[in-house]
Amino acid sequence: MRLIVSAGGTGGHIYPALATIDALKKQEPDSAILYVGGQRGLEKNIVPQKGIPFKALEIQGFKRKLSWDNLKTMYLFLKAVKDAKKIIKEFKPDVVVGMGGYVSGAVVYAAQAMGIPTVIHEQNSVVGLTNKFLSRYVDKIGIAFEAARSQFPQAKVKFVGNPRAQEVVRVRSHFNWNEYGLKNNKPTLLIFGGSQGALKINQATIEAMPAFNQRNYQVVFVTGQKRYEGVIAQLNQRHTLVGENVVIKPYISNMPEIMPKVSIILGRAGATSIAEITALGVPSILVPSPYVTADHQTKNAQSLVKAGAAEMITEDNLNSESLLKVVDNLMNEDAHRLEMEHAAKQIGVVDAADQLVALMRTAISEKH
């Protein structure tokens, strides 16, 4: 297969795209693949490091409010479509897949105008602007949440899950908590607000630290690289010691190896995070970010709460007291955690990347 993949901006789009590429390579090692991303996104550094051919387009997003800057956005979009058509003509793909981000809008739009089979994938429960626009033109649509189905033309939609889940499940963990000075026979809570950390989660955890020091479970607190020194400074100002059952880290690079060893994870409700925890069957306490488009993290979290796989604390209600109440309840109830673990696994899709590749083949066969 000759495949062009386009995704940009954030890891939530990029990593599912990479997982899809990996799945195709395993099925068809001779496949020719080209990744088309944006000049400003994370993909321009991440993708070439994976040894995947990469080309970049200049593009930017629309402002939701009326702005003269949107005139420049429209100009860049039309130019990106023109440039994408040149790339497509030269590469001659069998199918073009958009995994989200503004750049995928230009690339997929160009491909459908040229009669190339097109597929888009929506990772969230609330459909983004780019995919909503593209849904009118593409041949097939893959979704990771059933809640997204009603927001698309029904005949095109197939539930496939999030490809990132398949990649995480394949990791064979040999991690030992002794590496962190912790014990393997104790329940462990992982607090992780993302690679940059989450200020409100960090603050509530700092305030809860004296109580955590007294608990019979373990706590691994990941602050985010940019927030680590600030967290340590606050703990010192409060003269708060860190107990033997607590470890504080700025970042964990081998998260897929650690997550299977975790009893509960407390963190955000981004699409990639949810794909990982459901695929692995990790019970969760979700604190959706209120700063994302259309409040989609709250919708993501609610889907897990409804299934019995998670508890949710809104950021407005998050403090040390609410955090400890939910955490203590779950960490001290083994049976409840097992029920949540089972519910999470029922939601998780461990072959999502393979399913998306199959959807690509369907788009090709139906187009021809």
- The annotation status of 11 as a binding-site residue, yes or no, is yes
Mean pLDDT in the chain? 93
Domain of residue 139: give its range: 2-162+350-367
How far does Cα 65 stand from its chain's mean position? 27
**pLDDT recorded at residue 66:** 56
What does the block give as tokens for 228? Answer: 């680590």
118 is in an annotated binding site: no
Assess whether pLDDT exceeds 70 at residue 196: yes
Residue 172: inside a domain: no
Q: Which amino acid is at 204?
A: A
Same domain (yes/no): 100, 247: no
Give the pLDDT score at 360: 98
Residue 317: pLDDT above 90? Answer: yes
Residue 337 and residue 354 in one domain: no
The pair phi, psi for residue 338, each rounded to 5°, is: -65, -35
Q: Any known ligand binding at 123? A: no
The reply to whether 124 sits in an annotated binding site is yes
Same domain, 153 and 284: no
The answer on 9 and 117 residing in a single domain is yes
Predicted local distance difference test score (pLDDT) of residue 118: 98
Contact 315, 322 (CB under 8 A): no
Please indicate, yes or no, whether residues 358 and 332 belong to a single structural domain of this protein. Answer: no
- Are 114 and 249 in a shared domain? no
Using CB atoms within 10 Å of the CB of residue 112, give its burial: 0 to 12 exposed, 13 to 18 middle, 19+ buried: middle
194 is in an annotated binding site: no
- Tell me: do 340 and 359 sit in the same domain: no
The pLDDT, as a whole number, for residue 253 is: 84
Say if residue 187 is in the same domain as residue 330: yes
Encode pLDDT of 178-192 as tens digits.
Answer: 999 999 999 999 999
The reply to whether 190 and 294 lie within a common domain is: yes
Residue 171 — pLDDT band, cuts 50, 70, 90? confident
328 is a domain residue: yes
- Let me know whether 282 and 310 are in one domain: yes
**Shared domain check, 129 and 190:** no
- Residue 233 inside a domain? The answer is yes
- Point out the least confidently predicted range of 53-62, 119-128, 220-229, 297-306: 53-62
Q: How far is CA 195 from CA 50, 166, 184, 229, 252, in A?
A: 20, 21, 25, 14, 8
Q: Which helix (H) or strand (E) holds 236?
A: helix 228-237
CATH number of the domain residue 226 falls in:
3.40.50.2000
Return left, alpha or beta for 295; rule: phi > 0 is left, psi -120 to 50 is alpha, else beta: left
Q: Which pLDDT does position 12 carry in this prediction?
A: 86
Q: Count H helices, E strands: the chain?
A: 14, 13
Is residue 297 a part of any domain in this protein? yes
- pTM over 0.95, yes/no: no
- Is position 247 within any domain? yes
Percent of the chain beyond pLDDT 70? Answer: 97
What's the total number of domains in the chain? 2
297 is in an annotated binding site: yes
What are the pLDDT digits (tens) for 12-51? 899 999 999 999 999 999 999 999 999 888 898 899 999 9
Q: Is residue 168 part of a domain?
A: no
Task: Say whether pLDDT at 366 is over 70.
Answer: yes
Distance of CA 109 to CAs 7, 80, 83, 90, 97, Å?
A: 13, 10, 12, 17, 11
Distance CA 2, CA 331 (A): 49
pLDDT of residue 68: 58
Inside any domain, residue 251: yes
Determine if residue 313 is labeled as part of a ligand binding site: no
Residues 240, 133, single domain; the answer is: no
CA dist., res. 338 & res. 197, Å (int): 28
- Average pLDDT estimate for 232-243: 95
Q: Residue 188: what pLDDT? A: 97
By the 8 A CB rule, do 135 and 217 touch?
no
**Residue 73 to residue 77: CA distance in whole angstroms:** 6
In a domain, 77, yes or no: yes
